[in-house]
Amino acid sequence: MEKIIILGSTGSIGTQTLEVIEKLNNYKVLGLSAGKNIKLLKDQIRKFHPQVVCVQKEEDIKEIKAEFDIEVLYGNEGLVELSNKTNYNTLVVATSGIVSVRAVVNAIKNKKRIALANKETLVMAGDIVMELARKNSVSIVPIDSEHSAILQCMNNKNNESAKRLWITASGGPFLNSSREDMKNFSAKDALNHPRWSMGKKITVDCATLVNKGLEVIEAHHLYNFSYDDIKVVIHPQSIVHSLVEFIDGSFLAQLGLPSMHIPIQYALTYPKRLEGIKTDSFNIYNNKLEFLEPDYEKFPLLTLTIECGKTGGTAPVVLNAANEVAVNKFLNNEIGFLDIEKLITKTLEKTKIIKNPTLEEIFEVDRLIRQDLS
């Protein structure tokens, strides 16, 4: 029996993870953590009978306790406590932001497998987390569709003959817009993603291509490839989820309809592939699949994000925090679409980068940037 704890069970990836688990035999939910959506968490407890849950606020404990006789934890310490449970196999990290980084570090020390959907873990603390995973022989299995595709093409991480990684990007809603048009784009325009349905913040990150830059940083840490050997390719149809180029000139690609169920399930069953949840199968006839070079001038944040990865240290931490604040301001109609890049560039220019930060320094830099910009 595989026993799973899900951090962020009421979000988009969390709910889809539960849909996958429902269809798999021999998978049991041991613990759940949720933020504000207590009503949905209660529905999930009724359906999946976890032994323990974690809520964000202390005052939500009584609402859970009134109905269920289970252990209820709360806050960031609660997440760490949840990751310290001994009787589970896999921690699914589906929270957004940095709240779960400490829990991930703990789970790795406890030799638990990590199924990772959270971007910040590797973007902000990739060096520390991967080093710890290597030391403890823990697998970090990605849930993100691109990194899952790479893992599937790599033939279970046997990457000695792999030469380059090609990360596909849909190009977002503004692929064919001019910089002049982009000036006037509203949050509503940016949230109109052509292929994937996702949370608001990540959808804006797809429009600026920051998301793709962050995925390059994650791929660098996950697969230990140099930045020069990780390429971005625009693929508007979102059918090929990424590719690996090998030393003999072969490319392997993973194809499928854009559905997060597939990478979520693969992360749970890896290295096996099970039938589990039925997704519509991709009709291979009469399709046109395009692969285009990104327009780096039109999307300067793609280059800037990758540059921050190359610089390393706290550069990606600064970029990530500044981006999150800027995207929130944009979603609240406080700034324009192109102001996102201005705000990030300005923040990076005036911030000193720490070369080999500790986890505490990473959290502190993140906190200071947010405090400074709000």
Torsion of the alpha carbons at 283, 289, 294 and 295, rounded to the nearest 10: -110
Assess contact for 114 and 104: CB atoms under 8 A.
Answer: yes
Q: Which is nearer to Mg ion, 60 or 146 (CB)?
A: 146
Cα angle, residue 322 at apex, residues 58 and 238 outer, rounded to 5°: 95
Q: Which is nearer to Mg ion, 85 or 220 (CB)?
A: 220
Establish if 60 lies at the interface with Mg ion (CB under 5 A): no
- Position with the least CB separation from Mg ion: 144
Establish if 218 lies at the interface with Mg ion (CB under 5 A): no
Instruction: Tell me the helices (H) and strands (E) count for the chain, helix number first.
Output: 16, 11
Cβ at position 147, least distance to Mg ion in Å: 8
Q: Which is nearer to Mg ion, 118 or 351 (CB)?
A: 118
Cβ at position 28, least distance to Mg ion in Å: 28
Phi, psi of 112 (to 5 degrees): -95, 150
Q: Which is nearer to Mg ion, 146 or 324 (CB)?
A: 146
Q: Which is nearer to Mg ion, 323 or 347 (CB)?
A: 323
Q: Which is nearer to Mg ion, 242 or 347 (CB)?
A: 242
Cβ at position 204, least distance to Mg ion in Å: 14
Q: Which is nearer to Mg ion, 72 or 214 (CB)?
A: 214
Cβ at position 133, least distance to Mg ion in Å: 21
Q: One symbol per residue from 121 to 160: x for binding Mg ion (CB under 5 A), - otherwise; what is it?
A: -----------------------x-x--------------
- Count residues binding Mg ion (CB under 5 A): 2
- CB-CB neighbours of 38 under 10 Å: 17
Cβ at position 196, least distance to Mg ion in Å: 8
Ramachandran quadrant class, 337 (left: phi over 0; alpha: psi -120 to 50; beta: rest): alpha
Cα torsion 320, 325, 330, 332: sign:
positive
Could you write out the three-class secondary structure of 189-228? Answer: HHCCCCCCCCCHHHHHHHHHCHHHHHHHHHHHHHHCCCHH
Cβ at position 263, least distance to Mg ion in Å: 9
CA distance 204 to 286: 31
CA 12 to each of CA 296, 300, 355: distance values in angstroms, whole numbers, following the listed order: 30, 28, 34
What part of residues 348-367 is at the interface with Mg ion (CB under 5 A)? none
Sites of contact with Mg ion (CB under 5 A): 144, 146
